[in-house]
Structure formats: C-alpha cells, structure tokens
Chains A and B, each alone.
Chain A
Amino acid sequence: MPHINTHPVLDISHLSVALPSSGDRRHAVIDLSLTIKPGEIVCVVGESGSGKSVTAQAIMGLLPKGQLIAERGTITLQGEDVLQATPDRLRELRGTRMAMIFQEPMTALNPVLTVGDQIAEMLAIHTDLSESEQRNRVLEMMKAVHLPDTERMIDCYPHQLSGGQRQRIMIAQALILDPALLIADEPTTALDVTTQAQILKLIKEMQERRGTGVLFITHDFGVVADIADRVVVMQHGNLVESGTRDEILLAPKMPYTQMLIASVPSLVPPHREPVNGPVALQTINLSKTYQGTGGFLDKGRIVKAADQVNLSLRRGETLGVVGESGSGKSTVARCIARLIDPSEGHILLDGLDIANLPEKSLRPHRRHVQVIFQDPFRSLNPRRTVGQSIIEGPMNFGLSEHDALNRARDLMELVGLSPDALSRFPHQFSGGQRQRISIARALAMQPHVLIADEAVSALDVSVQAQVLALLDDVRKRFDLALLFITHDLRVAAQICDRIMVMQKGKVVEEGATRALFANPQHAYTKALFEAAPGHDFTKR
C-alpha cells in the first residue's frame, strides 16, 4: 500500500544521545535532524564512531539501558514520538511500523528455529491469523524476496542457507507486516560483492513496491551511489552534510565529505609500468585439499580450497589476488607463508622449493615471507607491548635486543608512528595504527615477499587510503614483492600491477590490472565488475 501523502515517515529533530561519563566524548549523537519521506532511501554514511548505528538504535528504542541516553530532541515516527513511547508501545511499533535488518544475518537469526517459524513469529505476535494463514503469508513473502524453492526452504534452519539467502530471510521478516520505515544497518557488509548487488537490488525493489521509507546505514560510498535518494554524512556524532545523492557525491561542500569521497579508490586503474625485477616467488600447481572427517566408512567430503594455482611474483611488483569468500585466495596466501601445509605443488622462494620443507629447515626461510593480517585487533598479542611484538622476529634470528629495538624505532617512524609508542600496549592504538604496527613488525624481518591478506578491509575508508599508500611506499623502498589479497576491486585497481581472479579454488583469469579492468574475459570476472557497488557512478 503505497503512501500517497508526503508527510515524512520519520522526522528526527535535534536528537542528542549522551555517552556514559567514561566515554572519550560526551555525546554519541549531537543535535541530529533528518527526515525520511515515504518511498525514499536515505543513506547515513560515516566512519566508525560517527554515531550512525546509535541513531538507528535510538529510533528502534534499542539504546543499551543505562549506557546511552537520548538527552534531547524528538524522533517522530508517523506522528508519534518514539522517545516518549512506553516499552509496550515500542514493542507494538517494532515490526508493524518500523523494522530493522542487521549486518550479520547469521547471528541475527536464531539457529535453533526454522526460518519459516522466525518469519511467522512476527505474524503470531502482531496479528491474529491462523497457523495455516500465517504459513501462506510467509511463503508469499519468501517468494517476494525471490527465495527459490520456498516450500522446502520454509522448514530450513539458518545454517542450511547461504549468507545472501539469510539476509533475504531477514528482509522478509522485517517487511512482512509492511512497516512504514525500514532501518538497514550495514546489511550487505558481511556479504560477497555479487550477493551484495542482489540484496541491494532487492531492498530497492521492495521499497519501491511498498513505498517504505528506508534508513540505510553504510560506510561504503559505492553502495550509496547504487541505492541512495538522499545522503546524510556524519562524523563524531555530528551531521556534516546532507543532500541528494548527486549533490553529495559529485559536489560535496564540506571538507570532510570531500576527503571521504576522495579517499574512495577509483575503479579506473592508473597507468603502471610493467615490473622487470627478478622473480621472488613462484608457485607451480599449488593445491590444498581438505578432507572432511567423515564417519566410520564414509571418507568425508573432499574440498579443493586451492586447485593447481600457478603464480609468479617479481621483486618490486604487486600482484592482486581477487575473489569472493571461499575462492581460495587466503588459502594460497597461507600456503605460501607456510602457515598451512600445501597438499601438492611447489612454492619457489628465490628459486628454492619450500613447499615440503620440514619446520626445522624451513625456519631460516620464514623471514623472507611476512604476512599482514586482516583483523588489526587480533594480529597483535594484547598482553605484549608493541616493541616486544616487533623485536620478537629479529631476535629469533640472532639480533641483539639493543639492535632489534633500534631497528624497531626506525621502522616506527617509517610507518608514521612515534618511536615512544614501542612501550605501549596494542589496545592503546586505533585500527589503522595497529595495522601500521603490523607492517612494521613484518618489515623488521627484512622480507623479500610481503603478503597483505585483506590488510585494509577492516579499516575506515580514509584510514584505508593512508595504509594503502604506506604499503605502496614500503614496496618501492624495500623492493618488495607484494602479494595483495583482497575482495575489493577498487582497492585492487589502485595498488596492483597485475591481478589474478580466483573462484572456487581455481584461477580463472590473470592479467595486467589496466588490461583486465578494461577488458575482462572470463564470465566470473565480468560478473564481479558488474556487481562492484557504484560502478556505474564512477564511470560517469
């Protein structure tokens, strides 16, 4: 039932949300005003800590009790102030007038209930339909979100579905009672890029058909370009700038917005000279097979995580390995670093095959291959100081503590941190700073090959740009061979000389970045480019 009136579905006026006194700032959200009209998608964009999720929680009445308090302002949902609503009234409003979908569809669904039951729960609570009517409504809704084979899927448990299917279930659950407002908090961040494109399309379709107002929270400007009618940019709880999609993306007025948009890597690769250094790393038919632990006589399922992968990487060159989750890109990286043992094939490191070396003879060669991991919060031991973490490797190879510390100090400056920071613990640093520390730790080993395994994926876009620049800088400075694993085509376009696209453990296409982006050959590569969020927008 499309709304004909143009009264806003949601009207937030001068909202301030206070943080507990122990927080690093007074307010999570300061004096925020925004409106959402029926059938409109408003994207709230900001980096971590900008207050965008707190805003969503405040609207849903889900602010953690006693920790975050909406101090001032009103949140008017179809003429009713939700900040004044009683808990009972809020419960009625949720589902019927407003609904929310979350980032992690696995944890947002109850693993011990069938998905059908979870959608039907909404009907059971808010309507008096009989069970068979409920089931029919659920089936109808599941068809509407384009789930296949709904008769069977309605009785499935969440773990039997893929991530994209789970997110569709979440959307079905959120929309089954036709709420006037849908809040989507980073709903596609945990999904692969091709799935993300489908889910974005679905949200847009549902919203157009039902006239729902959508508050879409994201950090990704590509997604904004694909889906937004209007955009609100937030920073540190403040509204920085708001306007239509084209106003914000094409002509941002505020310096912060300009900086954010400038930080988004372009999908158009710059020109790069081919690299002719000596080959530092080569794999020949590298394979990794996992055998499931089957039953007594059943041998279990065999999974080829990496299948006959051939790559070669020169000193001073950056090779991007691009693919979705499960494509085997991380498996290849971990085999090369010998964090897992390859099943077959050869890994030639400066000409020496290290694929099957036992740990003892491998150790001298470990220093030549170093890894930077994705999660900056888990890649440093929280109980050891930054200095201890950095000097651990060099001291394993016989450097004295004094010399190792001197090297660590130089490296800290090189990665843009103060050498005094060596005596501090990782929890005192931000994600971007920790990733710099990880880079310093890797460089302390004076490696020939540096593997960056989704090293910038967990970072905010402005920080990501800085860390990428740092990686490129150290590659040049130390003539490193950089193996860059990523799922993000934009990042790959900017930093890689050559790109290898992987799917289901196999390399499907390989080539110089510019040529590959200009003229992808394989159907899967084309699909990846097609799905990259905001790809139409960049080309304009």
Chain B
Amino acid sequence: MTASPSPVADRPSRLQALLDLFRHNPLMMLSAMILLLLVLAAVFAPYLGTVDPRKIGVLRRMSPPSAQAWFGGDQLGRDLWTRAVYGARVSLMVGSVVAVMSISIGLLIGMISGYLRAFDAIIMRIMDGLMSIPGILLAIGLVSVSGASFATVTVAIMIPEIPRVVRLVRSIVLTVREEPYVEAAIAVGTPVPLILWRHILPNCIPPLIVQATYVAASAMLTEALLSFLGAGTPPEIPSWGNMMAEGRIVFPIAPWIVLIPGCTLAVAILAVNILGDGLRDRLDPKIAKRM
C-alpha cells in the first residue's frame, strides 16, 4: 500500500508569518515602527540636525522649543534635541546588549542545567542567590567600586536578569528532553551537543524571544533609573536618565527639560512591551487560542 501524505500546504515562510502578524495587530505594527524610528535615530544621530551634545550655547540656556532648537535647551545651554537623540543610543544599546547577553548566557547555563543535570542543583542554588540581589543595589555597588561606565551599568543590569532566563530555559529543557523524538535521537547515537542544538534549542527560541523583549524593556528602565540616581551612565554621555536628573532642579521654570526625555523613555519602553506582548500571543499557542 502506498499512502501519500495529506495535501496540506507547506508552512508559510517566517517573513510571511511576521507580516501577517503585523497586519492583524496594528498596535504592534505601530510599536515596531516607533522602535525602528528610534533605532534609525540612534544610528544616524550625527546627521539628524544635531550638534555636539556637550556643546554649551549660552543663548540656548533654558530656551523653550523653537525652530532653531527643536526641543529647546537645558539649563547649561546644551541642545535638547541632540541630547535626546544621543540618549536613544544609550538606552537602546543597554536594552539590546543586556537582552542579548543575558539570554545567551542564560540559555547556555539553562541547557546545561536542564539537560546534563550534573550541576543542576548547584547551578540552580547559585541562580537563586543571584535572584535575591536587588539589581539597583548591585549597580550602585559596582559603580562605586569600578566607576561609572557603560560596561559596568550593562553588567550590573544583566546579572539579576540571567537567573530568570536560566529558570525559563531549564523548565523548557526538562519537558522537551522527555519527548520521544529526543529519545529517538539518543537511540540513533546523536551526540549530546547536536541533540541540544537540533532538538532542544528550537523549542527554547520562541519563549526566549518574548523574554528578550521584557528583559530589554526592564534594562532600559533600570538604566534610566540608575542614571537618574547618578550611578549609571557617566554625566558626559547624554542619557535619558541623567537628562532628567539634571533638569529636575529647574523643572518649575523649564519643565520640557525633564518631560522630553521622560516621554521618549516612556514611548520606547511601551513600544518594546507591546511588541513583546504581541509576540507572546503569537508564539505561545496556549494564550493565542484564548485570544
């Protein structure tokens, strides 16, 4: 008997699926476009009608937004448009670097812990320990030890995020490793690294993409908070957080100095979160069905 497979169309390509997703969810489309604009602004910051972000112009001092200075000037006379655009660089950099790094490290540790099980108990207790460290406190501590720099801030924000990723990955690996197709791969002699790569990793990717958006949003927020407290990005680099910190003294006279970076930060984080929610609804079939 020759049975032919059922005439089901092949899966649509990933790009097609993504486009479909955006078409059905306009809010997600909007968020994606805002994020894209922010990324473009950050990348092409020097060419967007900006000046040196540190340059002090006396005339611009606390000037309200105008045709010359689109977002006005701060209390030292620096151009706020320039600083807001350059601030996007810091924020997006921290967000993406922390997301990529914590996901990669967490994925590796999670797979080892979940699949090999050899150091499972030890790794997970270390992760429990890391989770109990408040991120802000760690950052302030690190900055006071090694000085404020981009790297310090990134590491400080990253460390408390890793255990969350490890737990997520480990829980997925623990269920997938029991799947018969993984056992079949063991039975045909597939080496462990290949099993992890071929059969386990693809199951971790969708939830990790979602997790990455949340990590990015929370990293951007934490960075702004740290900079606001003076424990984050060094003052010579403009970031939305230290812009707000510097402007808060003159808030009654020149509220736009605080409001402009505040709004950009809020919009950026909202966009990342909406994108993450949309992806979660799409990638997690259990939730997707309920929608």
Please report A residues at the B interface, Cβ cutoff 8 Å. Answer: 24, 337, 339, 363-364, 366-367, 369-371, 373-375, 378-381, 383-384, 389, 392-393, 396-397, 416-418, 421, 424-425, 427-430, 432-433, 436, 438, 441, 444-445, 466
Contact = CB atoms under 8 A, between A and B. Distances in A.
Nearest to A384: B198
B180 interface: yes
19 contacts: A363-B191, A367-B188, A367-B189, A371-B187, A373-B184, A375-B180, A378-B180, A378-B181, A381-B199, A396-B189, A416-B3, A417-B3, A418-B2, A425-B10, A425-B11, A428-B5, A429-B6, A441-B184, A466-B1
Given A339-B187, A363-B189, A381 B181 contact: yes
Contact of B188 (A364, A370, A374, A427): A370
Interface string B158-182: 0000000000000000000001110
A370 B187 CA distance: 6
B183 interface: yes
A441 B190 CA distance: 13
Nearest to B184: A379
B4 interface: yes
Given A397-B189, A421-B5, 20 more contacts: A337-B187, A366-B189, A371-B183, A371-B184, A373-B180, A378-B179, A379-B180, A379-B181, A389-B181, A392-B185, A392-B198, A393-B187, A417-B4, A425-B10, A425-B11, A428-B5, A428-B6, A429-B5, A433-B3, A445-B188
Nearest to B182: A381
Nearest to B191: A396
A421 B194 CA distance: 24
B59 interface: no
Contacts of B186: 339, 366
B49 interface: no
Contacts of A430: 3, 6
Q: How large is the interface on B (under 10, 10 to 19, 20 to 34, 35 or more residues)?
A: 20 to 34
A479 to B, nearest CB: 20
Contacts of A417: 2-5
Nearest to A429: B5
Given A366-B188, A396-B191, A445-B188, A427 B8 contact: yes
Contacts of B4: 417-418, 421
A244 B234 CA distance: 88
Contacts of B181: 378-381, 389
A373 B183 contact: yes
Contacts of A374: 180
Nearest to B9: A428
Contacts of A389: 181, 184
A375 B182 CA distance: 13
Nearest to A366: B189
Nearest to B4: A418
A418 B4 CA distance: 6
Nearest to A451: B187
Given A378-B179, A380-B181, A383-B202, A369 B187 contact: yes
A381 B8 contact: no
Nearest to B185: A392
Contacts of B185: 381, 392
Nearest to A426: B181
B107 to A, nearest CB: 17
A444 B4 CA distance: 20
Nearest to B195: A392
Contacts of B6: 24, 428-430
Contacts of A24: 6
A433 B189 CA distance: 24
A444 to B, nearest CB: 8
Most buried by A among B10, B188, B202: B188
Given A363-B189, A366-B188, A393-B188, A418 B180 contact: no
A398 B1 CA distance: 32
A352 to B, nearest CB: 16
A392 B5 contact: no
A383 B187 CA distance: 19
Contacts of B183: 339, 371, 373
B4 to A, nearest CB: 5
A63 to B, nearest CB: 17
B5 A393 contact: no
A113 to B, nearest CB: 24
A424 B11 CA distance: 10
A392 B2 contact: no
Contact of A438 (B10, B184, B202): B184
Interface in B189-220: 189-191, 194, 198-199, 202
Nearest to B179: A378
A159 B10 CA distance: 42
A392 B194 CA distance: 10
Contacts of B1: 416, 466
A379 B185 CA distance: 10
A263 B190 CA distance: 37
A142 to B, nearest CB: 36
B252 to A, nearest CB: 57
Nearest to B203: A383
